[in-house]
Chains A and B, each alone.
Chain A
Amino acid sequence: MSQYKIIFTGPVGAGKTTAINSISDVPPVKTDASASDMTKSRKSSTTVAMDYGIMNLADGEKLHLYGTPGQERFDFMWDILVTGGIGLVLLLDNTRADPFQDMRFFLDAFDKFIVDTTVAIGITQMDLSSKPTIEDYHIQLREMGLKPPVFAVDARVKSDVSLLVQALLYSLDPGLEG
């Protein structure tokens, strides 16, 4: 049976684990480790291997949701992860020092996969940092010759994550009727 999957990627803390949790039908399998961080009350752990969730589809099929480890030392796993993937969801934390650099890094790292499939970008933490704006991201993307969906996303909110994934699917085929 085919393994259908959507890959969630992005830097540490962008909300990949939370986003998968928002739309998964089963509690995500986490492979987190304790973060050596002074504010454990806010983010007590970080993903060192990968997150995994499942969406059960109507006919008994399953869609697998994989989150890449945010830490770059695990990037050797990315190629393995994307095999058989139907699309990429890139989450970017707007409070990071240089979110455009993050965006370029991940788009570059997954460029072949994006060419073969498609990408949708979610910008998280915009309520904490409103700059850069969504328009600023589009300007950067235009320079890269890309026109993907870019939405402000609260990874905790199911409808935000759902809309982003829907946009990813319609980018693959606007003729789809859900």
Chain B
Amino acid sequence: MDKTKRPLKVALHGMDGRSYKMMSMYLQGPCKGLAVVVDQGNEDIDIFDLDGVNGEALITAHLEKQTQKPAIVLSLHERMIENVLMVKKPVKIDDMLAALSKAKALLDKPATPIKRQDAVVGDKGNDNLDTQAVAKKADQVDEKPVLKKFVLNTDEQKKTSKHQAAMQLDEKGFGAFIGNVPGIDVNDPKQFARASYNTKEYFQGYVESAYKICHSKGQVRQLNSGWNPLIIFPHSQEIWLDVDENQLRSFSGLSINATLGSKMSITPLSQDSSTADRKLERFQSMDAFLWKIACWASKGRYPASIDISQPVYLKHWPNFTRILVTPHALRISALLIQGPRTLANVAEVLNIKPQYVFVFISAACALGLAGQVKREADVLVQSPEIKPNKNQGLLGRILSTLRGKKA
């Protein structure tokens, strides 16, 4: 390894969790990775926050040790401390880069005895701390809760599909975006029995099955479909697929079992190919991906595994800011979280078309968030009536305002 290009290993002292994180980011970002934060004991140099928790005591203890390691001290005030590199706050990039370069030059120099520090010139006259007291203070600092070690993953931030705001679909856009099934009116109670679909006949079923295999084997695997391969990363809960969204929507809505079923396979990826460079914007969260392909397979129908006459439960709220929000999905969640209900009852209580309940349940079941109530006792318990909030009018007006404020 080219030693000249190796980042300086830095230990941070006197910083709380947030400052620690910020400094880690600052070194990796604006300071161009010239230095990287490491655990104490593995560092080339130390950085102290003089204004932080026990900053004075920590720097004094450091100087008492007469270590050869260079130290950078950050301070709000102009200070004169010998044998340290001072950087005044707010820290400017140029100042920090200069201090890091000087520290690196000092490291590269042959070791020379460092003269004993007389004292840290303090504002509060605490210059003459005796070694024992300093050591005690340093111990106290060590006893503080261990800080979460923050490692900035800049790649993660570039996975825009994973972290961007969810699409919110209203009733008008439902038909065009989700689709419908010709020859059946899923909103007609007389046709409810026919308004189901078999998830296994769709891409959704293959993806669900592939997820299970990846999780159980703990392996990165590729789902081959005769179309573009889908790569599943179970540890990071991500998938990678390089296709146009409109094509994916069409593909997800097709019953492919008869035509492509024989071509479907799931294969483990070699270490090389699983870590290969990929377009970061093509990464998506496993949940958000499965949620939307379930919506497209459903087209307003419910999964055949659900008995329409029996109640369903919702385990917890879906993460609505990162998944496709279908019409009335928040209301359906708020109602089902109060207790199990049949799908028809949900539609009736909320006064909405059943297709919106069906599509929600299809997606929620795919993620394992919803399911059929199995205990007889739960079936017998009548769903609680919802009581209108005393501020219903006001709450409705707030909702209208928020809806008009969509970004």
Contact = CB atoms under 8 A, between A and B. Distances in A.
Contacts of B275: none
Interface in B1-52: 17-19, 21-23, 25-26, 49, 51
Contacts of A56: 401
A150 B317 contact: yes
A145 interface: no
A95 B23 CA distance: 13
B380 interface: no
A175 B398 contact: no
A166 B338 CA distance: 17
A178 B341 CA distance: 23
Given A13-B18, A38-B74, A95-B148, A127 B163 contact: yes
Given A170-B331, A174-B332, 15 more contacts: A57-B394, A58-B400, A86-B395, A128-B156, A129-B148, A130-B236, A133-B237, A150-B317, A157-B407, A163-B330, A166-B402, A175-B386, A178-B400, A178-B402, A178-B403
Contacts of A30: none
Contacts of B81: none
A114 interface: no
A162 B90 contact: no
Interface stretch (A39-47, A71-79, A104-112): A39-47
User: Is the interface on chain A under 10, 10 to 19, 20 to 34, or 35 or more residues?
Assistant: 35 or more
Nearest to A165: B402
Contacts of B330: 163, 166-167, 170
Interface in A47-65: 55-59, 61, 63
Contact of A57 (B17, B23, B145, B401): B401
B395 A97 contact: no
Interface in A113-172: 126-130, 133-134, 138, 141-142, 147-154, 157-160, 162-167, 169-172
Contacts of B389: 172-173, 176
A164 B397 CA distance: 16
Interface string B147-190: 11010110011010011011010000000000000000000000
Contacts of A97: 17, 145-148
